[in-house]
Chains A and B, each alone.
Chain A
Amino acid sequence: MARLRLDSAARLVVLVDKDGQQIAVHGELGELDTTSLASLVAGNVAATGGMAKLIGEREFPTLSHEGERESIHISVIGRVLLVVVFDDRSSLGLVKLRSKQISHELAAAFVEIERESELSNGAEALPFDEITDEEIDSLFSQA
């Protein structure tokens, strides 16, 4: 992600799960609410994916939104969305090119991670096996 940000002169690179959960973020965060960004990106990809199906496409693998100063480029890599936020220090062409180049590497890395996680399945026990009702109740008193 750091390499993509550098190579594309982008402001920010975010990885988002298709369900709207933020996986990782790298770059100039500033005041940006990345949780909301992740949710809206996933909603956006889901909506355009629905449109794609209506016209007989499987999905739209990339989406771009250009603003006056800030722009967003989204690449769909399997279950994961690669989001690049950039401004006039970069250009859509450069971001598209660099995103495409790194998408292959990321796709291979995700396959590897999935394989490893299947192999280690059960090795790392979840810490919630013995969670008590009191602990669940206490969450609400903390909020």
Chain B
Amino acid sequence: MTFINYASREINCKIVYYGPGLCGKTTNLQYIYDSTAAPAKGKLISLATESDRTLFFDFMPLELGTVRGFKTRFHLYTVPGQVFYEASRKLILKGVDGVVFVADSQEERMDANIESLYNLEENLRSYGYDLLKIPYVLQLNKRDLPNVMPTNDLTVELQRKGEPVIEAIASSGQGVFDTLKAVAKQVLTELRKS
């Protein structure tokens, strides 16, 4: 739920990057962090294992600017992608305003994408959210790898509701800000509707 603090004139929105293990969720956040000027960003907090896999979540606050006299701040989170972290993954979705599903474009990761997307729908439902109604973007990541599936095939399999589909190479930043912008725009448009 978007948090509007009238006292400090701030809007805080929570965006969660979801997807299967090793799809590049943390890489998205790392790129945003590395390319944002210091005053606009807070610390990037990574709760990771010793082998650099996300254990609980990554978190980064990002201040975009002022709209209608309100400072607009996005809190970006990732979930742990590995299947056995289900309990903690679900916790991160609490109070979410927008979701980015980061799909791994490699052919052999298709089943993992589908399983994770199904898991996302289930977990959202447990909090009373409907994937078909919340701000949502599908990112097709790792487009630079040799064994990727065609974009059309991935879109047919993974697109749920005509959401924006963005091709990305998160490691080099391609598509990263387009993805963030697409989801942020939907979140702010929701504010207008409400």
Distance in angstroms between the alpha carbons of A31 and B3 in the assembled complex: 24
Complexed CA–CA distance, A50 and B126 (Å):
14
Does A90 interact with chain B (Cβ within 8 Å)?
Answer: no
Whether the Cβ atoms of B59 and A139 lie closer than 8 Å is no
A135 contact set on B, CB distance < 8 A? 67-68
Q: How far is the CA of A126 from the CA of B36 in the complex (A)?
A: 29
Bound together, the chains give a CA A131 to CA B66 distance in angstroms of: 12
- Is B19 part of the contact surface with A, judged by Cβ < 8 Å? no
Pairwise interchain contact B94-A46, C-beta atoms closer than 8 A: yes
Q: Does B172 contact A (CB under 8 A)?
A: no
Report whether B59 and A36 are in contact in the complex, using a CB–CB cutoff of 8 Å: yes
Contact with A along B72-102 (1 / 0, CB 8 A): 1001010000000001100110110000000
Pairwise interchain contact A19-B67, C-beta atoms closer than 8 A: no
Contacts known (A33-B42, A40-B45); A128 close to B88, Cβ less than 8 A: no
Least CB distance from B100 to A in Å reads: 16
* Inter-subunit contact A139/B45 (CB<8 Å): no
Is the pair B14, A43 in contact by a Cβ cutoff of 8 Å? no
Task: Given the known inter-chain contacts A23-B5, A143-B36, please indicate yes or no for A128 contacting B191, CB distance below 8 A.
Answer: yes
Number of A-B contacts (CB under 8 A): 104
A35 and B61 contact, CB distance less than 8 A: yes
Q: Kindly identify which residue among B62, B87, B188, B192 contacts A143, using a CB–CB cutoff of 8 Å.
A: B62
Our pick among A33, A43, A46, A126 for the contact of B4 (Cβ within 8 Å) is A126
* Binary contact readout B46-84 vs A (1 if CB under 8 angstroms, 0 otherwise): 010000000011010111111111101001010000000
Q: Are A19 and B95 in contact (CB under 8 A)?
A: yes
User: Nearest residue in B to A46 (C-beta to C-beta)?
Assistant: B91
B76 to nearest A CB, angstroms?
10
A46 to B1, CA, bound (A): 16
Report the separation of the CA atoms of residues A47 and B47 in the bound assembly, to the nearest whole angstrom.
13
Within the assembled complex, what's the spacing in Å between the Cα atoms of A131 and B77?
26
**Contacts A21-B12, A140-B181, A143-B40; is A43 near B65 (CB within 8 Å)?**
no
Contact of A126 with B194 in the complex, beta carbons under 8 Å? yes
Partner of A17, one of B3, B6, B181: B3
Q: How far is the CA of A46 from the CA of B7 in the complex (A)?
A: 26
Query: For residue A128, which residue of chain B has the nearest CB?
Result: B191
Binding site for A on B (CB under 8 A): 1, 3-7, 12, 14, 36-37, 40, 42-43, 45, 47, 56-57, 59, 61-70, 72, 75, 77, 87-88, 91-92, 94-95, 177, 181, 184-185, 188-189, 191-192, 194
**12 A–B pairs (Cβ distance < 8 Å), ordered by A:** A18-B94, A35-B61, A36-B42, A124-B6, A128-B188, A131-B191, A136-B184, A136-B188, A140-B177, A142-B64, A143-B40, A143-B63
- Which 7 pairs, one residue from A and one from B, show the smallest C-beta to C-beta distance? A19-B95, A142-B65, A21-B3, A127-B68, A46-B91, A128-B191, A139-B64
